[in-house]
Amino acid sequence: MNGIIMIVIAIVVLGGAYLLYGRYLANKWGIDPNAKTPAYEYEDGVDYVPADTNVVFGHQFASIAGAAPINGPITAAMFGWLPVLLWILLGGVFIGAVQDFAAMYASVKNKGRTIGYIIEEYIGKIGKKLFLAFCWLFCILVIAAFGDVVAGTFNGFVTSSTGAVTQVTTNGSVAMTSMIFIVEAVALGMILRYGKLNKWLNTLIAIVMLVAAVAIGLSCPVYMTQSTWHIIIFAYVLVACVVPVWALLQPRDYLNSYLLIFMILAAVIGVFVANPACNLDAFVGFNVDGQYLFPILFVTVACGAVSGFHSLVSSGTASKQIKNEKAMLPVSYGSMLLECMLAVLALIAVASFGQGEAAAQGLSTQPQIFAGAIANFLGVIGLPYNLVFTLINLAVSAFALTSLDSVARIARLSFQEFFTEDEADGKQPGIVTKVLTNKYFATIITLVLAFLLAKVGYKEIWPLFGSANQLLAVLALLACAVFLKKTKRQGAMLWIPVAFMVAVTFSALGIISYKLIVALTTTGLSLGNTLQLIFAILLLCLGVIVVIQGVKKLTEKAPAAENAAPGAVSKG
């Protein structure tokens, strides 16, 4: 096996899946190109904002990718390249992309509401409350993990074993470029909203801005410590998740999507010109260093195959920007398949190194291994290693920082929804409810908890993040399956994914909880282990209850005269 064969297999499988299975789902569920989408029906200039398909695609892809499709496959490669590749392709096509499409479809058909509201409508109010609590806790984990990843990527200093402190030029350039991106995103947001320019001219402006930011970043790196970047990043996220989406979220994702697509294209070209050999064993074993292939492989690959977080983006932000229902297939199903391609490229990257070779080159983290491999590939055609290495690191940091924008907004919305009074009650909310549902209060309490957890370090959080992420996928798939059943649409294609992911996630959370309890009893209390154990137990309990409620609704017999559930629309 070599890199070209592996990537050709991926292109054929993923491309065929979009053309065949993706269109099959769209036909079965029903797409109405003439329907008025929630983006127009509830346009408010803040969350509901109609956007062109390429803009929404950029937001969706940039938000869902994060650092996980690079970190996950590289870490899971300890089991061998074959099980990782199979799970990326099969899991992505039949579970991950299906979940993303189903979540967006259910949201668009229900006024652009989140998965939490879908659960309330079709499973029950208690299920919604439990899901929102689960979602909020999970988002705190994501913000903490990705916030620490970004701060580490921006960290301008490294301390050697002898205590000597040196500047890291690559990190300084990445940090400067990312900060310029934010300023340019605000300017681009104004242009997109008020300029009324042709979309091709908007694209040209975005590309020019992107090139300018990279050029300035490479020539003017900025150096600050990781602790300082923690504060700056969380301050940025505080602003990003309360301003209107058109002012920062949409244009920033639009800018980043070009950088991320460039990175994928560069990686694909690198594989074809270098045709790297696969220096990994096809299969190492079911037990590697005390880690069992089931369930660890599936929760470690995480977003590279399936991610519950994607359902929050699909139903929380992207569904409120869809102009036409036809855009749902490329934006949701297509974005996930592109992320699967990135995961395959990450697998090829780590497989290109021999035993100990990456460490010998000073590549210690997963993003560095990925960037180093792509730089090696493109070096075959004469591109400078340092330039490519810096650009790829920049793209990876853009993944994680962009995900922070979206997940913080989703966490804020989940917290607000949890305390929102039922409109049918007709009661005026009290002072406490008004405070709890205030977007600034919800944002601040979320970010404070995430900031404290980020200090533990993403490496400590990652296993719990992966398990919680996959359990969130179970809840989203289950909610969508109930929605499809209640609205007389075919949803049987979701049942097997639900059953499989239940087995994976409950096993993984059980193993993690057991290990954390053992660690606490042997080494004593520590902030990291204690917080993780609390989160693990809460997530597991909430997940079990929601799954039980969802399965009851899914398996109950419908009355003979039952009509489509309230709030649903007829098939498009």
Of 226, 245, 190, the closest CA to residue 412 belongs to: 245
- Mean residue pLDDT of the chain comes to 86
State pLDDT tens for residues 244-255.
777 777 777 777
- Spell out a b/e string for 448-469, using b for 16 or more CB atoms within 10 Å of the CB, else e: ebbbebbebebebbbbbbbbbb
Q: Is the pLDDT of residue 561 over 70?
A: no
Of 487, 533, 512, 437, the closest CA to residue 137 belongs to: 533
The 8-class DSSP code of residue 66 comes to S
Q: How many CA atoms within 13 Å lie on the side-chain side of 308?
A: 33
Residue 92, both tokens: 């992505």
pLDDT value for 558: 62
DSSP H helical ranges for 307-334: 308-316, 328
**3-class SS at 352?**
coil
If you average pLDDT over residues 364-385, what whole number do you get? Answer: 88
Q: Is the pLDDT of residue 80 over 60?
A: yes
State pLDDT tens for residues 118-127.
888 888 888 8
Residue 70, both tokens: 């690079």
State pLDDT tens for residues 85-103.
999 999 999 999 999 999 9
H or E stretch covering 363:
none
Q: Is the pLDDT of residue 569 over 50?
A: no
pLDDT value for 566: 42
Q: Is the pLDDT of residue 130 over 90?
A: no
Asked if residues 315 and 128 have their Cβ atoms less than 8 Å apart, the reply is no
Measured CA distances, 220 to 164, 223, 263, 451 (Å): 23, 10, 22, 28
Q: Is the pLDDT of residue 572 over 70?
A: no
- List of residues 6+ apart from 510 with CB closer than 8 A: 540
**3-class SS at 249?**
helix
What is the Cα gyration radius of the chain? 23
What is the CA angle 257-182-245, rounded to 5?
70
pLDDT value for 559: 57
Residue with more model confidence, 570 or 491: 491
Q: Is the pLDDT of residue 511 over 50?
A: yes
Q: Is the pLDDT of residue 564 over 60?
A: no
pLDDT value for 414: 84
Residue 139, both tokens: 């988002």
pLDDT value for 361: 77
pLDDT value for 141: 85
pLDDT value for 525: 66
pLDDT over 90 for what percent of the chain? 37
pLDDT value for 503: 93
| Bond preceding residue 497 cis, omega within 30 of 0 | no
pLDDT value for 368: 82
pLDDT over 70 for what percent of the chain? 95
Residue with more model confidence, 69 or 23: 23
pLDDT value for 425: 54
H or E stretch covering 294:
helix 293-301
If you average pLDDT over residues 303-322, what whole number do you get? Answer: 90
pLDDT value for 3: 92
State pLDDT tens for residues 404-461.
877 888 888 888 888 876 544 556 777 888 888 888 899 999 999 889 888 777 667 7
Q: Is the pLDDT of residue 563 over 80?
A: no
Of 325, 340, 411, 264, the closest CA to residue 93 belongs to: 340
Of 499, 457, 491, the closest CA to residue 565 belongs to: 491
